[in-house]
Structure 1
């Protein structure tokens, strides 16, 4: 809850030039009346993923959200105690509200929804992003095809900057639908890897994953995500939860809501996805993904 003296020294930044460290929910100042006609309090401050975690109302330890954007960003609320990760995740402050600090574990996936953009602009197998769901739905699965979209290296929990995109398992029977399905599956598999690391760090097996972001509207992806994780996936009616979380924090500061308990009722379920695939099928899919990931890392490591 203060600026890091060692980092300030490394970067040569005098502490006196930095703003005071404040909580996530309090009135910091007001806009000038000339701008909006009234003086509006500025009362909520949060990082992108912290705001999404609060917007999803993941306010209890063990609650997890995943944002499916260009990349994917998962956070788990770990309560009032920071947990040092042993699985290459980040330990971060979630928020401070009413004098109480809550912490979180965070994992970042570099290529999430942007793999669909690659299908559109790079391969040209779809004309617009919304076409990927119907194309992938033409097949029951990827027929043994796996895409590891390490176009910019692999993020959490691997952190291998040299890994590169790998497409394996193709035959003459492989078509555009199989590649589209493998691309969607890759988002779910990468999420599985991060969640596994989180659960290992926290010693918690989650009961539900709350999802948001643009790609979470894809029902094929969300159902497969539930199948692979063997847990419930909950998509809220409002999926732009970053802005929502910032608004909740501001609302608490100005007294629109009296406590986080008052906000819990604001979260509304849109669709719930439950695991449906048999365990032996899931085990086969996961084993294939792990082989494909090892291939991508092996390609990176086997450099002359």
Structure 2
């Protein structure tokens, strides 16, 4: 009997496939890291062929774990959202490097469009701001600058990671789901359900290159039988941050989650009404079931777990990412050290792609424990900045549900509770992104009648962290952060 769910979870630094039971119990996981390419400062690329090879290997391992393809009811896919792939429709092979969401090569293009006065129209239609973070400007840049894409003519297909994977898995179905489409700058998020001609023209992206936009629980196709021994339906797709919000069962208006992975992304559900921000937050599609869309307000921070990875791999200050928690606990306080992690610019609510990271307050009394603690403290400070912006837009958090690999750090989870002055709730199974994709796939496969039913049945137990820092100490730390941030923004 086909009762298990396979989830392909395409992150920024690794590919993972997970196996779930119908009740949300995780049954297995296979993971492979892939290379990050930095051809020049501000440029970040992936090899989509390497991602495909890793995906195929991990998925086959989990199908074997399930007992064969006959035991798998559906495949769900969740992915790094704004990363763009360019491939050949005939062969499925990439025609150029994938441009990663962290890439800043279109900063000057976005600045020029802002200066020309286009941002209010772009925000009104797409819910987004003109920033190189989003897919559309990356697509337009590549079409202008990479001759092999122009030379491909009608053979060229363009899409985000999940779109590319579906194409390869099905042997030619070119689709994207509404959550990923809403991150491109090319889709009007309310009203018509297709690509917006005016936005496509503005960014120089012909709509003929783009995939069809579908719902998140729609059966978009089946896998090529030879890949896994049987055709398996693909019927659950969402961008990673929307999937994590679903995995945390944040479906009702006002429920809020924060995922601390490579970056940090906070989404607050807003129901069927599209939100509008006056504080440089983003409106995005949370989920689409059939033709019905629900929305979320989002704040995006570009650097979170990648900061710890940089301390480990780039500076050699840490032997492992897990060492950061012990170092933070070993310091009585931050010693006046603040780290503003603008290694890829600053995201919400500042949106400064030109900003550079800064480590301040150092003295001979400072040690690597203070630097590690400053890196973890920066997550709470950035979350506090976003909480203020959400509140100014009329969405004040009652509590916060956290997930992602970095959320496993108990010291950081408690620091979030202390600095935000609210209860922080963490699921015992912190991989909410994969779980949310499993909920979507289970709904699409008919194992649950509605997504809300899947979320209620499949979400597991949680741990709560409550505030334990007095207001005076909290304000003193925030004052230090504001001073360090002001130097970066000046």
TM-score (norm 1): 0.91
Q: Which moved more, 1:174-183 or 1:116-125?
A: 116-125
Q: 1:174 aligns with which of 339, 363, 366?
A: 366
Corresponding residue number in structure 1 for 2:117: none
Corresponding residue number in structure 2 for 1:249: 440
In the alignment, is the contact (CA less than 8 A) between 2:390 and 2:396 conserved in 1?
A: no
The 1:119–1:8 alpha-carbon spacing in structure 2 relative to 1, beyond 3 Å, is closer
**Cα distance between partner residues in 1 of 2:356 and 2:437:** 36
1:149 aligns with 2:341: yes
1:185 aligns with 2:377: yes
**Cα distance between partner residues in 2 of 1:121 and 1:66:** 25
What SS does structure 2 have at the residue aligned with 1:27? Answer: coil
Corresponding residue number in structure 2 for 1:40: 232
**Cα distance between partner residues in 2 of 1:157 and 1:76:** 15
Corresponding residue number in structure 2 for 1:301: none
Corresponding residue number in structure 1 for 2:79: none
**Cα distance between partner residues in 2 of 1:149 and 1:231:** 24
Q: Which has the higher contact order (CA 8 A, sep 6+)?
A: 1
**Cα distance between partner residues in 2 of 1:251 and 1:173:** 54
What SS does structure 1 have at the residue aligned with 2:343? Answer: coil
Corresponding residue number in structure 1 for 2:289: 97
Deviation of 1:209 after TM superposition, in Å, equals 1.0
1:290 aligns with 2:482: yes
Mapping for residues 30-179 of structure 1, pairs under 5 Å: 30-179=222-371
Corresponding residue number in structure 1 for 2:62: none
Q: CA RMSD in A?
A: 1.8
The 1:120–1:14 alpha-carbon spacing in structure 2 relative to 1, beyond 3 Å, is closer
Q: Which moved more, 1:15-24 or 1:155-164?
A: 15-24
Gaps of 5+ in 1: 299-304
Corresponding residue number in structure 1 for 2:186: none
The 1:230–1:31 alpha-carbon spacing in structure 2 relative to 1, beyond 3 Å, is same
What SS does structure 1 have at the residue aligned with 2:354? Answer: coil
1:237 aligns with 2:431: no
| Length, aligned pairs only | 297
**Cα distance between partner residues in 1 of 2:316 and 2:218:** 49
The 1:270–1:166 alpha-carbon spacing in structure 2 relative to 1, beyond 3 Å, is same
1:2 aligns with 2:185: no
1:215 aligns with 2:406: yes
**Cα distance between partner residues in 1 of 2:354 and 2:227:** 48
**Cα distance between partner residues in 2 of 1:6 and 1:221:** 44
**Cα distance between partner residues in 2 of 1:242 and 1:33:** 27
**Cα distance between partner residues in 2 of 1:125 and 1:48:** 29
What SS does structure 1 have at the residue aligned with 2:488? Answer: helix
Q: Which moved more, 1:128-137 or 1:31-40?
A: 31-40
Q: Which moved more, 1:221-230 or 1:153-162?
A: 153-162
In the alignment, is the contact (CA less than 8 A) between 2:387 and 2:397 conserved in 1?
A: no
Deviation of 1:125 after TM superposition, in Å, equals 2.5
What SS does structure 2 have at the residue aligned with 1:152? Answer: coil
